[in-house]
């Protein structure tokens, strides 16, 4: 088990290094520069580039960058008068993380319920209803859902505050909007897996032993249907935490998603790299956790893993 | 990733969910939820400081629209940062609601007979928010900081264009000691200019000219001007919450040590950040914002509302022509492009936001001009306002070239940029029979390409006035101006503009500039599009709204809340 985990950790570090290098090179290809005032004379531009070390040869810049990264120094933002990127990320990340985590909780609970109902009431009206909801949840994009939810539930009906992040209640509507996609995916998975499990022999045996339906579902069916969910929940969480761009913009929430796109638009090199590395760490970490979870749950994977 | 389920054998063994298991699971579930809750507590805005909304009746809620980028007046470049600075700091002069410079930190200025030396006297008793007196040394220190090449201030030209010795210092060829700024005593500041500049008093209201106290700045080191606590203020308001890049609410509260605090009516200003224009509009209607901007088709919808406001700015959008491109060296081709699209339709249909068609460079909002008229009034339109002659010019040009040129137009990737691109392309097809290609790029990339002369006709950007005088537009096209990226130059134009810079008599310099501007259109250096307008909605109780066309805006010193 230890050997397996260590191998996976080393793997993760290598992947992160490759991502860091690739991102850096891609950014050199980005047209334009962080300093773009037409009022900028060539002399002023030269001064600024000297100040930020942008006039050094590429290899020097690259080595400096990797060195800093290894020490956890993500550099300073170009658009916010040299404020450290790490500071900006740390200020905003908890906001996005909270929204995402809440959305996962809401979405998983909602999705599980929908999926269970769909599977148990297979081929009934309830099943078709939940399937329809699931499809809509996946298909309707967030930039439609978010403004709609905000307009009707916040501005018109006044149930939720329309914008900003001043209290927990402010986070509920944005999290709900994010949770819709989560719930839809979870519902679909749960329903499919449960249907398969419900047809298994041991379930028939449990029923024939006289266990009531609820007990059967709770003790046997759900636990065995959960394993495939591990596959999607972990990357889904990472994507949620980072993909809150639309929701953060519409609800005027100061998170990391909207900051990321803005930094690409204005060529804020350090911010772009910092945020990309952050997201990469999330993804790599979540796959690492997932691999370890599988290793715990299913020993055969560990054994097979050892072989290569 | 395909996964094998737990085999049937294993499942049968672990069927019993004991009481302990149940407790374990629900316990960890609850613990998780509690953890989420406590972690969440630190995340919300109100869970610590003074929070976002509220503040009672004498408060204005405004939308900054994006995060503050700079609080260091020596480095600031963008509208939002200027807007915060003009309300929390103060220059020697300040613009009043009619855009006229009035004494602020200075109570007056004497100008020498040759018009080159200004002696400012600071007001008695003015203080920083920490109790220290504001002195002339604070102004000298700040101006030298802007000019210092190590500061790498993007806007340094706003000082070095005017002050003697400044350009050399900034270029690294001179020392700080050679810059013509003197402080004979704590209350006197003397500056000598390179050329006469009747608008110099107005320039001192520009945020780059604001003071900084050397001791405080050096004490803060790298932390200086990062947030509300690492700044001192000498303006009508102090910042009590907020900072560079901060996403929450920026709070400005009335400055008790401000010399003119008796005339400051609004007690507190909450600066929210709402980037989505629909959300902002909805918040305005719900009463959570007291003012908001309007863009696109919303302008037409709200035009008749009593809360609507609109101003045409001193900003011109124009296409720049690269004179080094062989096809564009032909005058008739250039003239055809200049007259080949209908500006009235452009502003009324495509923009529909109150922007006005431009048939020249210097916008109507620039007030000084020859005699009693504004510059634009006196000179009128400098190109034909209709497209009838365009086709003939194009065909003549094609004949002279011997072939039809394949031309590309550069536009930025905003939605309005694309709309204008499609419109102009269609117009050229209709009016000239010409097919011009559109190239779309980001604003930043577009600016770089123009600077590197990698373009044919670029509609990427416009020019906003830095001060209230035609010179801020006209000196763009001097042959040695860094902003002249057209490859065009004219001795006569240089003669007139440089002469106007040296000329002391206001009427004579206006005449010289009036002779120069038409040259730009006789030779088609640029293709004007429109003078831009801003529009928005403002609550009826928000009185004294004082936007400025130059420097920081809006100025809340003059605002008040009445009848709420």
Question: Which is more confident, B352 or B544?
Answer: B544
Model confidence at A95: pLDDT above 60? yes
Would you state the pLDDT for residue A223?
65
Would you state the pLDDT for residue B397?
93
Q: B380: helix, coil or strand?
A: coil
Question: Which is more confident, A290 or B419?
Answer: B419
Would you state the pLDDT for residue B421?
94
Q: How far apart are CA B129 and CA B133, in angstroms?
A: 9
Which residues on chain A are in Cβ contact (under 8 Å) with B283? Answer: 162-163
Please give, rounded to a whole number of angstroms, the shortest distance from the CA of B75 to a CA of chain A. 8
Which positions ≥6 away from A245 have C-beta within 8 Å?
A257, A258, A260, A261
Model confidence at B513: pLDDT above 90? yes
User: Does B154 contact A205 at a Cβ distance shorter than 8 Å?
Assistant: no
Name the closest residue on chain B to residue A29, using Cα atoms. Answer: B445
User: How large is the average pLDDT for residues B302-330?
Assistant: 92
- Give the ranges where A71-84 is alpha helix by DSSP (H): none
Q: How far apart are CA B339 and CA B316, in angstroms?
A: 17
Which residues on chain B are in Cβ contact (under 8 Å) with A147? Answer: 278-279
Would you state the pLDDT for residue B461?
82
The confidence band for A222, taking pLDDT boundaries of 50, 70 and 90, is: low
Would you state the pLDDT for residue A193?
80
Of B5, B16, B285, the CB nearest to A224: B5
Would you state the pLDDT for residue A143?
82
- Range name among A124-133, A294-303, B253-262, B496-505 with the lowest pLDDT average: A294-303
On the 0-12 / 13-18 / 19+ scale of CB atoms within 10 A, A73 is middle
Model confidence at B141: pLDDT above 80? yes
Q: B540: helix, coil or strand?
A: coil
Would you state the pLDDT for residue B393?
94
Ramachandran sector of residue B165 (left: φ over 0; alpha: ψ -120 to 50; beta: rest): left
Q: B5: helix, coil or strand?
A: coil
Cβ under 8 Å to A: B residues 463-522: 463, 466, 482-483
Structure tokens at A306: 């050892």
What DSSP designation does B287 have?
A: T
Beta bridge partners of B133: B127
| DSSP calls for A121-145 | TTTSHHHHHHHHHHHHHHHS-HHHH
Would you state the pLDDT for residue A100?
86
CB contact B262 to A (< 8 Å): no
User: How large is the average pLDDT for residues B225-244?
Assistant: 95
CB contact A66 to B (< 8 Å): no
User: Does A166 contact B51 at a Cβ distance shorter than 8 Å?
Assistant: yes
Q: Which of A167, A162, A135 is nearest to A149 (CA)?
A: A162
B310 in Cβ contact with B547 (< 8 Å): no
Model confidence at B209: pLDDT above 50? yes
Q: Which of B59, B61, B60, B79 is nearest to B69 (CA)?
A: B79
Q: How far apart are CA B106 and CA B124, in angstroms?
A: 9
Question: Which is more confident, B416 or B457?
Answer: B457
The mean of the pLDDT values for chain A is 81
Name the closest residue on chain B to residue A247, using Cα atoms. Answer: B276
User: Does B154 contact A79 at a Cβ distance shorter than 8 Å?
Assistant: no
User: Does A252 contact B273 at a Cβ distance shorter than 8 Å?
Assistant: yes
Of B12, B44, B274, the CB nearest to A167: B44
User: Does B248 contact A254 at a Cβ distance shorter than 8 Å?
Assistant: yes
Of A40, A151, A220, the CB nearest to B154: A40
Cβ under 8 Å to B: A residues 140-199: 147, 150-151, 155, 162-168, 170-171, 197
User: Does A147 contact B17 at a Cβ distance shorter than 8 Å?
Assistant: no
Please give, rounded to a whole number of angstroms, the shortest distance from the CA of B417 to a CA of chain A. 15
Would you state the pLDDT for residue B551?
85
User: How large is the average pLDDT for residues A128-142?
Assistant: 85
Best of B276, B320, B476, B478 to substitute, by most chain A Cβ atoms within 10 angstroms, is B276
Would you state the pLDDT for residue B291?
95
First-to-last C-alpha distance (Å) of chain A = 14
User: How large is the average pLDDT for residues A262-276?
Assistant: 81
Would you state the pLDDT for residue B15?
38
User: How large is the average pLDDT for residues B90-99?
Assistant: 94
Of B12, B77, B275, the CB nearest to A258: B275
Of B171, B272, B276, the CB nearest to A164: B272
B153 in Cβ contact with B140 (< 8 Å): no
Name the closest residue on chain A to residue B158, using Cα atoms. Answer: A39
Of A83, A171, A252, the CB nearest to B275: A252
Q: How far apart are CA A180 and CA A159, in angstroms?
A: 18
Please give, rounded to a whole number of angstroms, the shortest distance from the CA of A81 to a CA of chain B. 6
Which residues on chain B are in Cβ contact (under 8 Å) with A274? Answer: none
Model confidence at B99: pLDDT above 70? yes
Which residues on chain B are in Cβ contact (under 8 Å) with A101? Answer: 36
Would you state the pLDDT for residue B24?
52
| DSSP calls for B140-179 | HHHHHHHH-TTT--TTTHHHHTTBTTHHHHHHTSS-GGGS
pLDDT digits (tens, 9 = 90+) for A30-42: 766 667 665 667 7
Ramachandran sector of residue B427 (left: φ over 0; alpha: ψ -120 to 50; beta: rest): alpha
Which residues on chain B are in Cβ contact (under 8 Å) with A202? Answer: 8, 11-12
Please give, rounded to a whole number of angstroms, the shortest distance from the CA of B173 to a CA of chain A. 12
pLDDT digits (tens, 9 = 90+) for B466-503: 899 999 999 999 998 888 889 999 999 999 999 998 88
pLDDT digits (tens, 9 = 90+) for A11-68: 888 998 899 899 888 877 876 666 766 566 777 778 877 877 777 888 888 888 888 8
CB contact A3 to B (< 8 Å): no
Of A34, A43, A254, the CB nearest to B247: A254
Distance between alpha carbon B439 and the CA centroid of its chain, in Å?
Answer: 25
Place of tokens 């250096």: B525
Which positions ≥6 away from B449 have C-beta within 8 Å?
A31, B410, B441, B455, B458
Rounded to 5°, the CA angle B356-B357-B362 comes to 85
What DSSP designation does A221 have?
A: I
B459 in Cβ contact with B322 (< 8 Å): no
Q: How far apart are CA B373 and CA B369, in angstroms?
A: 6
Q: Which of B384, B368, B388, B387 is nearest to B376 (CA)?
A: B368
Q: How far apart are CA B33 and CA B24, in angstroms?
A: 14
Tell me the pairing of strands B268-272 and B59-63. parallel
User: How large is the average pLDDT for residues B414-431?
Assistant: 92
CB contact B53 to A (< 8 Å): yes
Q: How far apart are CA A43 and CA A53, in angstroms?
A: 15
Name the closest residue on chain B to residue A36, using Cα atoms. Answer: B444
Name the closest residue on chain A to residue B52, using Cα atoms. Answer: A166
Q: B127: helix, coil or strand?
A: strand
The reported pTM is 0.82
Tell me the pairing of strands B462-464 and B308-321. antiparallel
Which positions ≥6 away from B491 have C-beta within 8 Å?
none
Of B11, B285, B448, the CB nearest to A33: B448
Of A32, A51, A249, the CB nearest to B448: A32
Question: Which is more confident, B314 or A43?
Answer: B314
Structure tokens at B535: 């529009």
User: Does A258 contact B5 at a Cβ distance shorter than 8 Å?
Assistant: no
First-to-last C-alpha distance (Å) of chain B = 62
Interface predicted TM-score (ipTM) over 0.90? no
E-state strands within B457-559: 457-458, 462-464, 526-538, 542-543
- Range name among B31-45, B176-190, B432-446 with the lowest pLDDT average: B31-45
Model confidence at A293: pLDDT above 90? no
- Range name among A222-236, B47-61, B167-181, B330-344 with the lowest pLDDT average: B47-61
Question: Which is more confident, A294 or A167?
Answer: A167
Name the closest residue on chain A to residue B247, using Cα atoms. Answer: A254
Q: How far apart are CA B156 and CA A44, in angstroms?
A: 8
The confidence band for B1, taking pLDDT boundaries of 50, 70 and 90, is: very low
Which residues on chain A are in Cβ contact (under 8 Å) with B18? Answer: none
Q: Sign of the CA dihedral B10, B12, B13, B19?
A: positive
Model confidence at B20: pLDDT above 80? no
A92 in Cβ contact with A300 (< 8 Å): no
- Range name among A266-270, B81-85, B98-102 with the lowest pLDDT average: A266-270
Would you state the pLDDT for residue B84?
96
Secondary structure element (H or E) that encloses residue A59, with its range: helix A58-70
User: How large is the average pLDDT for residues B58-74?
Assistant: 92
Name the closest residue on chain A to residue B48, using Cα atoms. Answer: A166
Would you state the pLDDT for residue B320?
92
CB contact A28 to B (< 8 Å): no
Model confidence at B283: pLDDT above 90? yes
User: How large is the average pLDDT for residues A92-119?
Assistant: 87
Would you state the pLDDT for residue A183?
87
Question: Which is more confident, A241 or B465?
Answer: B465
User: Does A43 contact B67 at a Cβ distance shorter than 8 Å?
Assistant: no
pLDDT > 70: what percent of chain B? Answer: 90
Name the closest residue on chain A to residue B245, using Cα atoms. Answer: A80
User: Does A44 contact B152 at a Cβ distance shorter than 8 Å?
Assistant: yes
Would you state the pLDDT for residue A114?
86
pLDDT digits (tens, 9 = 90+) for B377-412: 999 999 999 899 999 999 999 999 999 999 999 998
User: How large is the average pLDDT for residues A183-206?
Assistant: 79
Cβ under 8 Å to A: B residues 341-400: none
Q: How far apart are CA A149 and CA A166, in angstroms?
A: 19
- Range name among B159-163, B342-346, B445-449 with the lowest pLDDT average: B445-449
Q: Sign of the CA dihedral B219, B224, B227, B233?
A: positive
Of B4, B46, B156, the CB nearest to A300: B4
CB contact B104 to A (< 8 Å): no
Secondary structure element (H or E) that encloses residue B118, with its range: strand B117-122
Q: How far apart are CA B221 and CA B215, in angstroms?
A: 10
Please give, rounded to a whole number of angstroms, the shortest distance from the CA of A305 to a CA of chain B. 14
Would you state the pLDDT for residue A121?
79
- Range name among A222-236, A256-270, B292-306 with the lowest pLDDT average: A222-236
Name the closest residue on chain A to residue B275, using Cα atoms. Answer: A249
CB contact B443 to A (< 8 Å): yes
CB contact A241 to B (< 8 Å): no
Q: A110: helix, coil or strand?
A: helix
Would you state the pLDDT for residue B557?
95
Distance between alpha carbon A112 and the CA centroid of its chain, in Å?
Answer: 19
- Range name among A54-68, B265-279, B329-343, B450-464 with the lowest pLDDT average: A54-68
Model confidence at B39: pLDDT above 60? no
The mean of the pLDDT values for chain B is 88
Q: Which of B524, B498, B523 is nearest to B513 (CA)?
A: B498
Q: A168: helix, coil or strand?
A: helix
Secondary structure element (H or E) that encloses residue B108, with its range: strand B106-111
């Amino acid at each position: 088990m230890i050997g397996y985990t260590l191998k996976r950790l080393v793997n993760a570090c290598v992947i992160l290094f490759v991502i860091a290098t690739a991102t850096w090179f891609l950014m050199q290809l980005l047209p334009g520069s962080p300093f773009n005032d037409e009022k900028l004379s060539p002399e002023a531009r030269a001064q600024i580039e000297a100040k930020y070390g942008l006039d050094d040869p590429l290899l020097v810049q690259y080595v400096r960058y990797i060195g800093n990264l290894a020490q956890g120094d993500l550099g300073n933002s170009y658009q916010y008068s040299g404020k450290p990127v790490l500071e900006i990320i740390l200020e905003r990340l908890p906001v996005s993380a909270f929204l995402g985590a809440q959305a996962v909780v809401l979405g998983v609970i909602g999705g599980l319920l929908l999926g269970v109902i769909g599977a148990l009431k297979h081929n009934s009206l309830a099943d078709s209803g939940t399937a329809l909801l699931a499809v809509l949840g996946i298909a309707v994009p967030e930039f439609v859902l978010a403004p709609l939810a905000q307009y009707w539930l916040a501005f018109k009906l006044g149930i939720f505050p329309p914008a900003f992040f001043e209290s927990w209640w402010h986070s509920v509507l944005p999290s709900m909007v994010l949770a819709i996609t989560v719930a839809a995916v979870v519902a679909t998975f749960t329903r499919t897996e449960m249907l398969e499990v419900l047809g298994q022999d041991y379930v028939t045996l449990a029923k024939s032993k006289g266990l009531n339906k609820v007990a059967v579902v709770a003790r046997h069916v759900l636990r065995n249907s959960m394993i495939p969910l591990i596959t999607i929940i972990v990357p889904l969480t990472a994507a949620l935490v980072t993909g809150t761009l639309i929701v953060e913009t519409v609800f005027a929430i100061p998170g990391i998603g909207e900051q990321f796109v803005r930094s690409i638009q204005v060529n804020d090199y350090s911010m772009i790299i910092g945020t990309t590395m952050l997201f990469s760490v999330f993804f790599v970490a979540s796959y690492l956790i997932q691999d370890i979870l599988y290793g715990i749950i299913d020993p055969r994977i560990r054994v097979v893993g050892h072989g290569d | 990733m395909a996964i094998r389920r737990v085999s049937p054998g294993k499942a049968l063994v672990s069927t019993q969910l004991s009481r302990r298991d149940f407790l374990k699971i629900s316990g960890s579930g609850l613990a998780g939820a509690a953890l989420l809750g406590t972690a969440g507590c630190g995340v919300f805005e109100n869970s610590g400081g003074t929070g976002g909304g509220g503040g009672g009746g004498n408060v204005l809620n405004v939308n900054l629209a994006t995060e503050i980028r700079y609080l260091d007046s020596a480095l600031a470049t963008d509208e939002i940062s200027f807007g915060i600075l003009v309300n929390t700091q103060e220059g020697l002069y300040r613009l009043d609601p009619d855009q006229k410079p009035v004494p602020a930190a200075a109570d007056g200025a004497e100008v020498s007979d040759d018009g080159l030396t200004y002696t400012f006297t600071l007001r008695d008793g003015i203080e920083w928010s920490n109790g220290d007196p504001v002195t002339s040394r604070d102004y000298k220190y700040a101006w030298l900081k802007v000019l210092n090449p190590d500061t790498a201030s993007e806007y340094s030209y706003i000082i070095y264009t005017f002050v003697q010795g400044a350009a050399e210092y900034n270029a690294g060829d001179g020392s700080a000691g050679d810059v013509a700024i003197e402080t004979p005593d704590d209350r006197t500041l003397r500056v000598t200019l390179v050329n006469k500049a009747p608008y110099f008093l107005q320039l001192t209201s520009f945020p780059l000219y604001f003071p900084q106290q050397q001791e405080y700045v050096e004490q803060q080191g790298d932390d200086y001007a990062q947030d509300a606590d690492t700044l001192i203020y000498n303006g009508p308001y102090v910042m009590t919450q907020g900072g560079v890049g901060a996403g929450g609410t920026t709070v400005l509260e009335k400055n008790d040590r401000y010399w003119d605090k008796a005339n400051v009516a609004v007690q507190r200003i909450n600066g929210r950040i709402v980037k989505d224009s629909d959300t902002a509009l909805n918040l305005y209607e719900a009463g959570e914002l007291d003012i908001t901007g309007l863009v696109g088709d919303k302008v037409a919808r709200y035009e008749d509302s009593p809360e609507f406001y609109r101003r045409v700015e001193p900003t011109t959008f124009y296409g720049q022509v690269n004179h080094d491109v062989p096809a564009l060296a032909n005058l008739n081709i250039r003239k055809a492009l200049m007259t080949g699209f209908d500006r009235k339709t452009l502003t009324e249909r495509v923009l529909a936001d109150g922007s006005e068609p431009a048939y020249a460079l210097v916008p109507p909002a620039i007030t000084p001009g020859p005699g009693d008229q504004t510059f634009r009034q006196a000179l009128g339109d400098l190109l034909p306002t209709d497209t009838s002659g365009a086709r003939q010019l194009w065909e003549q040009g094609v004949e002279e070239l011997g072939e039809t040129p394949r031309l590309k137009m550069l536009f930025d990737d905003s939605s309005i940029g694309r709309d204008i691109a499609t419109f102009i392309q269609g117009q050229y097809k209709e009016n000239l029979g010409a097919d011009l290609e559109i190239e779309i790029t980001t604003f930043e990339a577009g600016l770089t390409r123009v600077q590197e002369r990698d373009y044919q006709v670029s509609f990427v950007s416009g020019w906003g006035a830095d001060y209230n005088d035609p010179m801020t537009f006209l000196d763009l096209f001097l042959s040695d101006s860094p902003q002249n990226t057209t490859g065009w130059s004219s001795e006569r134009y240089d003669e007139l503009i440089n002469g106007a810079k040296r000329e002391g008599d206001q009427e004579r310099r206006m005449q010289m500039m009036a002779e120069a501007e038409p040259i730009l259109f006789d030779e088609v250096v640029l293709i004007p599009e429109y003078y831009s307008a801003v529009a928005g909605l403002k609550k009826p109780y928000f009185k004294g709204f004082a936007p400025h066309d130059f420097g920081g805006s809006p100025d809340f010193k003059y605002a008040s809340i009445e009848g709420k």
